[in-house]
Structure 1
Amino acid sequence: MTPAARPSFSLYPELDATALGAFVSALESGDVTGLPPARAAGVAEARARSVFTRGKVTGADGDLLDAALWRHTGIRPRPMIVMPSPWTSLGWLVYAVQATLFAARGYDVIAYSARGFGGSEGQVDVAGPLDVADGSRALDHLIERSTGPVTKVGFLGASYGSGIGQLVAAHDTRVDAVVALSSWGDLGEAFHENSTRHVAAVRALLEAAAKARLSPQTRSAFDHLLTGSDIRGVLRWAEVRSPLTHVKELNRRRVPVFFSHAWHETLFPLNQTLRMFNELTGPKRLAVSVGDHSGPETAGVLGLPNRIWTDAHRWFDHHLKGIDNGIDGEGQFLGEVMWSRTLEPRPTWPSATERLHRLYLAGDGGLGPETVAGWTATVLCGMDTPATVADSVVASGYAEMAGRPKAYPTEGIDRTVAAVWTAEPAAETVRLRGTPRLRVTYRAANPGSTFVAYLFDAGPDGTAHLITHAPFSDLQSPPDSLISADIELQATAYDVRRGHRLMLVIDARDPFYADANLPRATLAFTSPEATPSCLDLPLG
């Protein structure tokens, strides 16, 4: 993307709009001058097999949606794919290369810019009823312009488009399979995890949509998330837009759904998508990779070799064309291990965890097998520490994929503003596989409290890498209450090497989250005898 075209923030920082535009121009004209050989060959193959045109889809309320179609001539029956755009001003252009590859494999395809984005009219509805209606209208548009009968229909979306695709599939019985890349299942939990507002994610979405036209309802919901007002109203708004709310409709027809996600996802944290995945009773598959939002599949968007997009093609080939390519026998779950990048297939997500290992928090900062009660570890609020979720939304994930995960200096964590517990050095590799769970009790001197728990892999050199984390807020307890927090950390697949230590850090502030603490307030963590503070580790 040229500097002049680059917005202040993009969920797709690696995309080159100029290169994608040149590819589309070649599809229209046949002139492949300046294209890389592989892209030129793709254009030639697509033009030999299908007809590419731009157009407008009449969406809900008569709004015209910018779209592109890849259609085959002749009366042969064909499957179809509908691709709602991601959360970007580039609109359907993001899908230009992949839609062309699908067309070359015999699919009729329509890719369109979601309302309010790019060249589409209307206002951004955040996968609301208008977006769902638009998806069905886009399918109508493609069917009406196809020359042969339709066999089966798939919806594929990345990020924003993936949520829309799931919701259309839940309400339009013509949809036979779904591919949802970097998606969400429960939008309310994605924005409001353990009663903690994901303010950095909301700001990132607003910045990435700087050129979009947000509806008043959308802007109001985002404003409320940033200010903390009318959260109940926001959760009602999010419920309608959550595929999890409509999972019974998907299950009734056993719609096959393929998900991809990232372990350190900062926009739509993994656990809420896992809940959606676990509720599905039809054919399903989930691939979770190193990185952050959309990073694992971005290379494929550009047409480069990419296992996520390869499996997306295989998913549709199997469920829309009936090709016996083996994907249905490879297990429901595929995890990429941090940081070996080993790919581990499992029959189901729960089977990734073979047993649980409990460690107890001790007053001397230890993390061990014996229960220790009666201690207190006090944390001063309002101060940040080196323990943070990431340096930035999305971008930090690209560093992880390049083999450069953030190194945290453990000696820089001030023990007056953070509580730290460290286990003994691992005698052998500790294979974390699943969802860690933390139970901790604390006393808050003031009404309203927040903490963020981080699980680190601390090396012998004093640096650490983030394994997983989770925020927690209590907004209802009276001052000086003893509060019990029993929370899931985000799911993980991580190998802690021999000689490294597990380190649990709890502090009261992280710029990724809203902070319910009063400045200079304190949180006093403890461990009652009846409910000792502990960390349950899922081992594989």
Structure 2
Amino acid sequence: MTPAAFSASSSGPASFSLYPELDATTLGAFVTALETGDVTGLAPARAADVADVRSVAVFGRAKVPGADGDLLDAALWRHTGSGPRPVIVMPSPWTSLGWLVYAVQASIFAARGYNVLAYTARGFAASEGMVDVAGPLDIADGSRALEYVVGRTAGPVTKVGFLGDSYGSGISQLVAAHDTRVDAVAALSTWGDLGEAFYENSTRHLAAVEALLAAAAKARLSPQTQAVFENVLANRDVEGTLRWAEPRSPFTHIKELNRRQVPVFFAQAWHETLFPGNQTLRMFNELTGPKRIDLSIGDHSGPEMSGMLGLPNRIWTDAHRWFDHHLKDVDNAIAEEGQVLSEVMWNQTLEARPAWSAVTRDVRRLFLTGDGELAPDPEAGWSAGVLCGVDTPATVADAVVTGGLAELAGRPKAYPTGDIDRTVAAVWASAPGEEVTRLRGIPRLRVTYRAANPGSTFVAYLFDVGPDGTAHIITHAPYTDLDSAPDSLISADLDLQATGYDVPRGHRVALVVDGRDPFYGDANLPRATLAFTSPEATPSYVDLPLG
């Protein structure tokens, strides 16, 4: 499925799931086994999960009274003993599967001593109400869900954790910021600043919004939610959208999380196409309490998806360890392992660092030159033209979310750099590396360009190019200028999305800049041109973070 499948001009959103590997029938069979004890047809490991949880806890479906009297569809795993226990509440992702996606993991948590409530966010599946996109009603729902499970525990509640994936991860952070009863959070494939996720460097994330609409095709969006999404697609009322996004951004409420020193665990994919990773890293870096972030190969929810099926998965393993440590006081060494664990593309090596500031050890600055090189010395007086309105082989990915599944399988998209038309894209490449180049952190680009018309957009990509010209994407970022006068020089300074990438010996690092990518809206007029250059006083360069 390509971004065009979510075109705003179509008669309605295409059928789409952010969780393509999850099957409602299989998960439903697991839940039926939880209810009946009959494990016929289940895989042996899942049958063992059912037996484990049924031996210590009671499973049941529930209707949780949410805000405004709306009932939320839920499931409760409850221990009958009167001893003290911690509680975990799990708000659902952005999917018509609702709480069902958590059935296996919630059972594992329950078998290990937690009382667990998983619920479907309002407006989705069998929950009443309308989708509020992590707004005040969703925050109130989270507190009501906590009250519901606390009121049904047989013994005292010791501590409380909120865990969510995707949509549920944002809700979990926001509930923790507003409800002082929450002691720890696990936020998988999450966001920190929703406004930045929708408008990165003033550039609309069209494909992301189209994908969210398509994945919510069976949901009941509130009129405000529908209007905001349509405004992003139609390029209307940007300020209104940002005002709407502000209270829905955990970053807005970070002072409250820091005041209480709430432990927060993040998991994020390097090639996240819904919620770009830098805004989550900004949230992570501003947290002052216990924190950890796992960074993985793949795209939105992909790295943790196998764990939802019950398969071995390091993201879910760390989430369990996080809660065991912070909710059950288990000394499992997770606090001593460092705040950052990252999986290197594409060798899958895991690297632990004490903090994000320790990920980058040095910076290599390469300057853009007139002959298409990334060189150690600046060069002024050249110009490289880009014709706008024409797509190029340089794109973010083949599809939102699902392109990351190939990366997880070790088959990242191959880009034929020889097919990039130099009239519609500007290309600069480094000399072949004499050793492995270990890119770790946030690459930064400074470039000057002239736009003939008011309003301009470009997308910058870093590629790893092999000796045969085949490339793999390292990272990218869009940039839009809406304020400069026509035919003026524009200085663009932008962070590309964070990366952990090993460029093999003999490969080149290439910077490609073009004026159109189907993942983004652009402000360029059709057939307009962008002329990139490098003034002597402010040379154009890319900073490569080295580990």
Class of the TM-score when normalised by the shorter of the 2 chains? over 0.9
In the alignment, what sits opposite 2:192?
Answer: 185
For 1:80, what is the secondary structure of its paired residue?
strand
Alignment-mate amino acid for residue 119 of structure 1: A
Find the aligned partners of 1:181 and 1:87 in 2 and give their Cα distance. 13
In the alignment, what sits opposite 2:182?
Answer: 175
Find the aligned partners of 2:356 and 2:25 in 1 and give their Cα distance. 40
Is 1:219–2:188 an aligned residue pair?
Answer: no
Which of residues 285, 288, 297 in structure 1 aligns to 2:295? 288
Cα shift readout 1:378-401 (whole Å, capped 9, x = no counterpart): 100110100000000011100000
Alignment-mate amino acid for residue 202 of structure 1: V
Which of residues 439, 443, 458 in structure 2 aligns to 1:432? 439
Deviation at 1:84, TM superposition (A): 0.0
How is 1:358-437 mapped onto 2 (pairs within 5 angstroms)?
358-437=365-444
Which of residues 63, 71, 80 in structure 2 aligns to 1:64? 71
Cα shift readout 1:292-331 (whole Å, capped 9, x = no counterpart): 0000000000000000000000000000000000000000
For 1:124, what is the secondary structure of its paired residue?
coil
Find the aligned partners of 2:327 and 2:168 in 1 and give their Cα distance. 20
In the alignment, what sits opposite 1:339?
Answer: 346
Is 1:146–2:188 an aligned residue pair?
Answer: no
Is 1:466–2:473 an aligned residue pair?
Answer: yes
Which of residues 302, 317, 333 in structure 1 aligns to 2:324? 317
For 2:413, what is the secondary structure of its paired residue?
coil
Cα shift readout 1:224-256 (whole Å, capped 9, x = no counterpart): 111111000000100110000000000000000
**Identity of paired residues, percent?**
76
Deviation at 1:41, TM superposition (A): 1.2
Which of residues 186, 205, 214 in structure 1 aligns to 2:212? 205
Cα shift readout 1:438-484 (whole Å, capped 9, x = no counterpart): 00000000011000000000000110000000000011212111111
Alignment-mate amino acid for residue 135 of structure 2: G
Find the aligned partners of 2:237 and 2:384 in 1 and give their Cα distance. 34
Is 1:85–2:83 an aligned residue pair?
Answer: no
In the alignment, what sits opposite 1:120?
Answer: 127
In the alignment, what sits opposite 2:529?
Answer: 522
Aligned length: 534
Is 1:353–2:360 an aligned residue pair?
Answer: yes
Find the aligned partners of 1:348 and 1:36 in 2 and give their Cα distance. 40
TM-score (norm 1): 0.98
For 2:298, what is the secondary structure of its paired residue?
coil
Cα shift readout 1:251-284 (whole Å, capped 9, x = no counterpart): 0000000000000000001000000000000000
Alignment-mate amino acid for residue 423 of structure 2: T
Is 1:279–2:306 an aligned residue pair?
Answer: no
Is 1:534–2:546 an aligned residue pair?
Answer: no
Find the aligned partners of 1:109 and 1:313 in 2 and give their Cα distance. 13
In the alignment, what sits opposite 1:454?
Answer: 461
Cα shift readout 1:388-434 (whole Å, capped 9, x = no counterpart): 00000011100000000000001000000000001100011000000
Find the aligned partners of 2:114 and 2:125 in 1 and give their Cα distance. 25
For 1:141, what is the secondary structure of its paired residue?
helix
In the alignment, what sits opposite 1:4?
Answer: none
In the alignment, what sits opposite 1:477?
Answer: 484
Deviation at 1:132, TM superposition (A): 0.2
Alignment-mate amino acid for residue 443 of structure 2: P
Find the aligned partners of 1:73 and 1:495 in 2 and give their Cα distance. 51
Deviation at 1:121, TM superposition (A): 0.3
For 2:431, what is the secondary structure of its paired residue?
coil
Deviation at 1:74, TM superposition (A): 2.0
Greater CA drift, 317-326 or 7-16: 7-16
Which of residues 45, 54, 65 in structure 1 aligns to 2:52? 45
* Unaligned residue ranges in structure 2 (runs of 5+): 1-13
